[in-house]
């Protein structure tokens, strides 16, 4: 027995062609079909070793997700493995390249089991020390540890670090803790048990009831009840049905789905198996953007592994249930995340949304009843089936159950992936988990829900994050992007940024979105350049309302949200740009004036030497002055001045 998946002895009859219904249970608790303590002992040992439970053995979990990989994690994995080999430690120490730990700001990150030691910002140079101190002498390396931002104590274990402490990792439970390329790792950690329970103990309708009861709502944006959606597709007439996993993840700054696919691809497959069984589908697609090569690679490996042991294919676990899964790569158009555009794209057509009804549940892929869910939605399901709807319902609020993953980005100390129960406040996410604003600057706004969401101000930091509350405030949970902004951000400029995204990603089909977003962007652009008029605000608002009211798909229906929420909460800033021709955050170049403070100027002349348009004059006896009529507001002088004498206003 080289692998957990191998038979314990020749009495095992399982093959993918003639599957044994107890296969999965057997591999972790077995053998089932015969009594043999030596067979049982073999399995037990195997699993203990895998869990680093054998004394003296260690597992080093190194994040090798896209974030840490770009910081050199792949070569670190290689170097560490080489070094262990040199020291003859490979028997005792296992190096596991994992998916994302979530702590992207501090990458590359190590978690060393069994103790759970968290090392951050590990570099190649640290490896000899890790071998000598940590592994051979059992001593912590202080400088690689983190500090809990509440207690200000150095933390050794990852779960006492303030970033992890307040999280509730359900979907991300395996992410960063198992080898995503190993189906064994997944199975040891209760993998596929949810599916086995569904397919062997429950009828399709019972599965749907359980999902309905759990209160799970779609994590792709709209928050529609997953169980209800499944029941529509199940009830739709048709002998052929499809299910789809939406892994297009186009929101700027969002990478939750990438994290799940890279770190725990089998959880998505298991979720889809449960869904396919409940709905009565025998074919599925994962539509993933081609910009996620690692996610696609991990998913390909996972699908091949599942096929090999008969968890995908015909007559799965001898239940008569068939299911095949394929990957389709998208070329990175944001609108292809919209369900009808996505299906058109799978069919080989231009990714353009179409009017609904008919809804995909009636007529979807190739005109057949189709159910589409987001990556995170799918990977919630194994946990719901394994632990029950009541357990799941214990997380979250009355109407928004469970947990949600957020991608924390922007001017926050701990950027990364965090998973919290629904109903956690923005303040807890940004300050307790996120560690507050970089350089202790003042918080200004949080953009939540991506280009379809809105910007919320400081007064709303105590809002609970759930579907209804955020929508009421003019934002939305969306897919879960949280962009944190500090006082150095101009809200008009940010609204313009999101509008620029929406207007260039509009598919061009319907008039209000194609033409209206462009015109809203143009109005914002004029305001940012100091050419705005007060009537522009009214025009912006009324145009935004019409675009929302008349657009064909969610892109146009939500693209005005960043403008409307900013106008609601930060109207003064718009007015300052228009009336006073000033940008309060000192961001909008056209509205800035640079000048030199006489008292601070040491007359070194560095500013004048570097000014690209030669508009600074002065000499050893006369302080330097900027001729603002010629200045192009490039800011070079401010960057160059060593005495902070150049001020922008």
Partner 1 sequence: MSTVTLNIDDRKVTIPAGTTVLEACRMNNIPIPTLCHDPELTNSGSCRLCVVEVEGMRSLSPSCVTVATQGMQVKTNTRRVKEARKTVLELLVANHPLDCMTCQKMGDCSLAQYAYEYGVKDDVYPGERRNVCLDDSNPFIVRDSNKCILCGKCVRVCEEVQGRSVLDFYQRGFESLVGPAFGSDLSQSDCVLCGSCVSVCPVGALTEKQMIGKGRPWEIKKVQTTCPFCGTGCSFDLNVKAGEVIGVTSNPEAPVNGRALCVKGRFGTDFIHSPNRLTAPLVKKDGEFVEVEWDEALDLVASKLRAIKSEYGADSIAALSSAHCTNEENYLMQKFMRAVIGTNNIDHCART
Binding flag, residue 333, partner 1 (CB under 8 A)? yes
Footprint of ligand FMN (CB under 6 A): 218-222, 224, 246, 248-250, 334-335, 337-339, 372-374, 377, 479, 553-555
Q: Encoding tokens for residue 49? A: 């070793």
Contacting residue, 169, 298, 509, 577, with partner 1 by CB under 8 A: 509
Q: Give which of ligand FMN, ligand SF4, partner 1, none residue 478 binds (C-beta under 5 to 8 Å, depending on kind).
A: none
Residue 540's closest CA among 517, 514, 511? 517
509 belongs to the binding site for ligand SF4 (CB under 6 A) = yes
- Residue 630, both tokens: 């010629």
Binds 373: which of ligand SF4, ligand FMN, partner 1, none (CB < 5-8 Å by kind): ligand FMN
- The footprint of ligand SF4 on residues 549-578 (CB under 6 A) is 551-553, 555-556
Structure token pair of residue 393: 């319902």
- Least spacing, CB of residue 569 vs partner 1, in Å: 23
**Contact indicator for 172, 259 with CB cutoff of 8 Å:** yes
Work out how close the CB of 231 gets to partner 1 at its nearest, in angstroms, rounded to a whole number: 22
Q: Does 516 bind ligand SF4 (CB under 6 A)?
A: no
- 47-43-114 Cα angle (round to 5): 15
Cis peptide before 108, with omega less than 30 degrees from 0? yes
Q: Helix 293-308 vs helix 256-263: angle between axes, to the nearest 10 degrees?
A: 40
Question: Which of 511, 492, 514 lies closest to 503, judged by CA?
Answer: 514
Instruction: Say which DSSP state 220 is in.
Output: S
The least CB distance from residue 476 to partner 1, in Å, is 14
| Minimum CB–partner distance for residue 400 and ligand SF4 (Å) | 26
Interaction partner, residue 270 (ligand SF4, partner 1, ligand FMN, none; CB < 5-8 Å by kind): none
Pairing of strands 146-147, 154-155: antiparallel
CB of 241 to partner 1, least distance (A): 24
Select 187 or 343, whichever has its Cβ closest to ligand FMN. 343
- Largest CA-CA distance found in the chain, in angstroms, rounded: 98
What is the DSSP secondary-structure string of 488-526? T--HHHHHHHHHHHHHHH--S-SHIIIIIHHHHHHHHHH
Residue choice 166, 328, 354, 581 for contact with partner 1 (CB under 8 A)? 354
Q: How many helices (H) and strands (E) does the chain have?
A: 27, 19
d(CA 311, CA 80): 34
Is 578 one of the binding residues for partner 1 (CB under 8 A)?
Answer: no
Question: Which of ligand SF4, partner 1, ligand FMN, none does 635 bind, CB closer than 5 to 8 A by kind?
Answer: none
With CB cut-offs between 5 and 8 Å by kind, which of ligand FMN, partner 1, ligand SF4, none does residue 219 bind? ligand FMN
Q: How far apart are CA 609 and CA 567, in angstroms?
A: 42
Establish if 340 lies at the interface with ligand SF4 (CB under 6 A). Answer: no
Q: Do 636 and 594 touch, CB atoms closer than 8 A?
A: no
Out of partner 1, ligand SF4, ligand FMN, none, what residue 224 binds, judged by CB under 5 to 8 A for its kind, is ligand FMN
The site map against partner 1 for 518-557 (x = CB under 8 A) is xx--x----------------x--xx--x-xxxxx----x
Residue number with CB closer to partner 1 (212 or 514)? 514
Helix (H, G, I), strand (E, B) or coil at 342: helix
d(CA 511, CA 514): 5
Tell me the number of residues near ligand SF4 by CB under 6 A: 14
The total number of residues shown for the chain amounts to 649
Q: Tell me the window of 16-24, 106-114, 348-356, 617-625 that interacts with partner 1 (CB under 8 A).
A: 348-356
Listed ranges 94-102, 195-203, 406-414, 501-509: which one lies at the site for ligand SF4 (CB under 6 A): 501-509
| Residue 37 burial class via C-beta count within 10 angstroms: exposed 0-12, middle 13-18, buried 19 and up | exposed
Query: Under a CB-based contact definition with an 8 Å cutoff, are residues 296 and 333 in contact?
Result: no
Is the omega angle on the peptide bond into residue 331 within 30 degrees of 0, that is, cis?
Answer: no
> Of 20-28, 467-475, 510-518, 566-574, which part binds partner 1 (CB under 8 A)?
510-518
- Contacting residues toward ligand SF4, per CB under 6 A: 335, 353, 506-510, 513-514, 551-553, 555-556
């Amino acid at each position: 027995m080289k692998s957990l998946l191998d038979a314990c002895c020749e009495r095992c009859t399982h093959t993918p062609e003639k599957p044994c219904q107890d296969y999965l249970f057997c591999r972790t608790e077995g053998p089932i079909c015969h009594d043999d303590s030596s067979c049982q002992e073999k399995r037990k040992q195997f699993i203990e070793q895998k869990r680093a439970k054998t004394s003296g053995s260690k597992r080093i979990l190194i994040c090798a997700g896209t974030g840490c990989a770009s910081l050199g994690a792949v070569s670190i994995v290689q170097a560490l493995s080489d070094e262990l080999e040199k020291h003859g430690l490979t028997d005792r120490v296992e190096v596991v390249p994992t998916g994302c730990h979530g702590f992207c700001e501090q990458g590359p990150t190590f978690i060393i089991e069994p103790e759970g030691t968290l090392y951050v910002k590990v570099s190649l140079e640290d490896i000899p020390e890790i071998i000598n101190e940590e592994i051979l002498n059992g001593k912590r390396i202080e400088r690689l540890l983190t500090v809990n931002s509440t207690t200000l104590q150095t933390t050794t274990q990852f779960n006492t670090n303030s970033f992890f402490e307040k999280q509730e990792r359900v979907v991300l439970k395996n992410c960063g803790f198992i080898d995503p390329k190993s189906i064994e790792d997944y199975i040891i950690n209760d993998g596929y048990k949810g599916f086995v329970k569904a397919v062997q103990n429950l009828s399709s309708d019972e599965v749907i009831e359980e999902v309905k009861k759990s209160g799970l709502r779609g994590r792709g944006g709209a928050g529609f009840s997953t169980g209800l959606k499944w029941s529509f597709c199940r009830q739709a007439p048709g002998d052929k049905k499809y299910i789809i996993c939406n892994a297009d993840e186009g929101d700027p700054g969002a990478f939750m789905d990438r994290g799940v696919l890279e770190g725990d691809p089998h959880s998505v497959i298991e979720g889809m198996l449960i869904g396919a069984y409940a709905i009565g589908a025998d074919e599925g697609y994962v539509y993933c953007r081609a910009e996620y090569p690692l996610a696609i690679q991990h998913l390909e490996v996972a699908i091949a592994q599942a096929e090999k042991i008969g968890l995908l294919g015909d007559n799965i676990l001898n239940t008569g249930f068939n299911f095949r899964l394929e990957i389709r790569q998208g070329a990175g158009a944001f609108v292809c995340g919209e369900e009808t555009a996505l299906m058109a794209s799978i069919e080989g057509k231009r990714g353009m949304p179409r009017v609904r009804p008919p809804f995909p549940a009636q007529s979807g892929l190739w005109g057949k009843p189709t159910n589409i869910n987001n990556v995170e939605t799918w990977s919630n399901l194994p946990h719901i089936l394994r632990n029950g709807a009541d357990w799941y319902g214990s997380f979250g609020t009355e109407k928004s159950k469970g947990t949600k993953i957020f991608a924390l980005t922007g001017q926050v100390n701990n950027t990364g992936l965090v998973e919290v129960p629904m109903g956690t406040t923005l303040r807890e996410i940004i300050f307790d988990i996120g560690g507050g604003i970089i350089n202790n600057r003042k918080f200004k706004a949080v953009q939540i829900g991506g280009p379809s969401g809105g910007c919320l101000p400081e007064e709303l930091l105590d809002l609970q994050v759930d579907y209804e509350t955020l929508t009421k405030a003019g934002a939305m949970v969306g897919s879960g992007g949280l962009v944190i902004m500090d006082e150095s951000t101009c809200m008009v400029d940010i609204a313009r940024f999101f509008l620029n995204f929406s207007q260039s990603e509009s598919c061009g089909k319907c008039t209000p979105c194609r033409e209206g977003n462009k015109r809203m962007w143009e109005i914002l652009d004029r305001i940012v350049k100091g050419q705005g008029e007060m009537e522009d605000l009214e025009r912006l608002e009324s145009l935004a309302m019409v675009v929302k009211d008349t657009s064909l798909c969610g892109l146009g229906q939500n693209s005005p949200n960043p403008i409307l929420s900013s106008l609601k909460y930060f109207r003064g800033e718009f007015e300052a740009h228009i009336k006073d021709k000033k940008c309060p955050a000192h961001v909008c170049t056209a509205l800035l004036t640079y000048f030199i403070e006489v008292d601070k100027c040491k007359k070194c002349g560095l500013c004048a030497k570097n000014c690209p348009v030669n508009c600074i004059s002065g000499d050893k006896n006369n302080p330097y002055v900027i001729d603002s009529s010629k200045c192009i507001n490039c800011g070079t002088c401010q960057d160059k001045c060593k005495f902070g004498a150049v001020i922008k206003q």
